[in-house]
Amino acid sequence: MWYIGTIGFVIYFAHRFQISEKREKLIVDTKLIHTVSVMDEFTHEQKDALHYILGTLVSSRERWNYIFIFVTSALALIIGIYLDFIR
């Protein structure tokens, strides 16, 4: 039964990684960080907040967490299948 949960983890974290990559690409390609900094509609505090949020989305360790969980879940699945069915 744990195989189902582990397969779910692998699928979920692969999907989250793809979303994170797409979000980073959109922020970089559309130059959102620069655009926010030159807009007059925002206060200085709002610009700082948006700059921080967008900057952390681009340089977040979130993607590395997704990769780590994806890889370890996949390894656990492979080792489990090997120990339970092949060996």
Q: What is the pLDDT of residues 28-69, one digit of tens each?
A: 999 999 999 999 999 999 999 999 999 888 887 888 998 999
For CA atoms 40, 41, 46, 47, give the dihedral sign.
negative
Distance CA 71, CA 77 (A): 10
Q: What mean pLDDT comes out for the span 22-27?
A: 95
Residue 57 φ/ψ, nearest 5 degrees: -65, -35
Instruction: Give the total number of structural domains in the chain.
Output: 1
**Residue 76, amino acid:** A
Q: Is the pTM of this model over 0.85?
A: no
